[in-house]
Amino acid sequence: MIVKISEIDNELIVKGKMEGSQLTMSDENEFCFLSPVDYSFAVRKFENLIRINGSMHCTINLICSRCLDEFVFPIDTYLDVEFSPKVLTPKVSELELKRNELDIYYYEGDEIDLDPLIYDEIVLNMPVRPLCEESCKGLCDACGKNKNYEECRCDKVSNTLLGEQLKSLLTK
Ligand SMILES: [Zn+2]
Ligand SMILES: [Zn+2]
């Protein structure tokens, strides 16, 4: 979605829904969209700085890092970012970045493309190690069964003293 800077008076409200397919930036997605991205942003201009803040939410599909099952993950986030014109020297903006907590983006000419911003925000809100549930039991190391669905006997054997002895015997 493109925002035209010349069209911002005091404050410009941009809101709507966007299909995930519009945002897809690379083929290396580890998720897919289960819902459109619902967003509502306020865009304000301070001299040549553009400040954008507001909320967005969507639902995505992730793969559990323990059991490899797919699960639904809602993203509900508030973003607050600043766009500076690209002509500023990088040194100045790096300093800015250290001084305040805001993420700094750059714009060129009269247009700001919000798509990369929305996409980044989704990726930032994704868990590093996705889990279908905190208590996910994962896959059995020995037989590969999903222990959330099925009890296997591997644990029972290896947890007993006999099992330990058997294990060390087998690995020798
Ligand atoms: Zn899981
Ligand atoms: Zn097993």
25-50 pLDDT tens trace: 666 667 889 999 999 999 999 888 99
Task: Determine the distance separating the centroid of ligand 1 and the alpha carbon of 111, expressed in angstroms.
Answer: 42
Question: pTM here?
Answer: 0.74
pLDDT > 90: percent of the chain:
49
* C-alpha span between 129 and 64 (Å, rounded): 8
Task: Determine the distance separating the centroid of ligand 2 and the alpha carbon of 163, expressed in angstroms.
Answer: 13
79, 91 contact by CB (below 8 A): no
Segment 44-87, tens digit of pLDDT: 998 889 999 999 999 999 999 999 999 999 999 999 999 988 87
Confidence grade of residue 144 (pLDDT, cut at 50, 70, 90)? very high
Nearest ligand for residue 127 CA: 1
137-143 long-range contacts, Cβ below 8 Å, gap at least 24? Answer: 137/66, 137/67, 138/66, 138/67, 139/66, 139/67, 139/68
Nearest ligand for residue 147 CA: 2
Nearest ligand for residue 69 CA: 1
**For the chain, which residues make up each domain, given as ranges?**
2-136, 137-172
Task: Determine the distance separating the centroid of ligand 1 and the alpha carbon of 9, expressed in angstroms.
Answer: 49
Task: Determine the distance separating the centroid of ligand 2 and the alpha carbon of 160, expressed in angstroms.
Answer: 15
